[in-house]
Amino acid sequence: MFNPILQDPVLFMISVFILSLCIGSFLNVVAYRLPIMMKKQVEADYLDINGKEVKAEAPFNLMKPNSACPKCKSEIKAWQNIPIISYLWLKGQCANCKTKISPRYPTVELITGLLGLLVAYKLGATIECAALLLFTYFLVALTIIDLDEYLLPDSLTLPLIWIALIANSFGAFTDLESAVYGAVAGYLSLWTIFWGFKLITGKEGMGYGDFKLLAAIGALLGWQALPVVILLSSAVGAVVGISLIIILGRDKNIPIPFGPYLAAAGFIAALWGTELTEAYFQFMGIR
């Protein structure tokens, strides 16, 4: 039943776009609920360790409770949860109490849809496309959470490493040996920078989640792509950070999450890494 979709490039891209819009809607839920779930778990573990009773609470996970308006608590019906369309139809308001709905929700849906469309257009109906689509969905969730909470959860970064290694066991982006060494090199490169910076300044320049995210990117693209990813993420991070300080007057002591820049660099390298590497070598006069 999927053959017509896979064989028709236009139909395939449309299908991926619609699928990515729907997944973008779910990623909004993941980005909001996962940090809360983690905090609840930490609190429960603390009480358990100290011999205190952990009170039973209503289920709170990625599936339960059903989505509801935070003000009037009215449950969001299926027709009110259609990506982008429902937001436009409801004019960005709760259907019950008319409370404004954050434009962030349709924005995440649209960005996820467009990224999926770009992957489908660039790679077509291939194993590389399937692997990068799944990888991209994780990157979107990680980016939102890091921007909100300065956190890259292990429950997302560690499975991402395994997804990349499994994909490359079928030769999706590179051979398995390069993928394994990419994961190791990705982790150790930022780990080394972290400890070097800490020994010199006494401060922590990044979190361990950044190490794991770069390990996942290295596992997907191979160790050969890491210089391009690190260069891209560092350059964009520096430009954005300096701009925030100079233009918006942001306090330079306020940390800036590095995960979104790693995610963006990894995505760009997955689609245009070869071209970027060739351009860099030509610029440096190496080739």
Contacts of 128 (CB under 8 A, 6+ apart): 172, 173
Asked whether the predicted pLDDT for residue 90 surpasses 60, the reply is yes
- pLDDT at position 65 is 84
Cβ–Cβ under 8 Å, residues 23 and 112: yes
The average pLDDT across 277-285 equals 70
Instruction: Give the lowest-confidence range in 20-34, 148-162, 233-247.
Output: 233-247
Claim: this prediction has a pTM higher than 0.75? yes
Residue written as token pair 């440096």? 284
- pLDDT at position 10 is 93
Average pLDDT score, the chain: 88
State the angle between helix axes of 154-169 and 208-221 in degrees (0 to 180), rounded to the nearest 10: 10
- pLDDT at position 275 is 83
The average pLDDT across 256-268 equals 92
Based on its alpha-carbon atoms, the radius of gyration of the chain, rounded to whole angstroms, reads 21
- pLDDT at position 218 is 97
- pLDDT at position 183 is 97
- pLDDT at position 157 is 97
Asked whether the predicted pLDDT for residue 1 surpasses 60, the reply is no
Choose from 110-119, 205-214, 278-287 the range with maximum mean pLDDT: 110-119
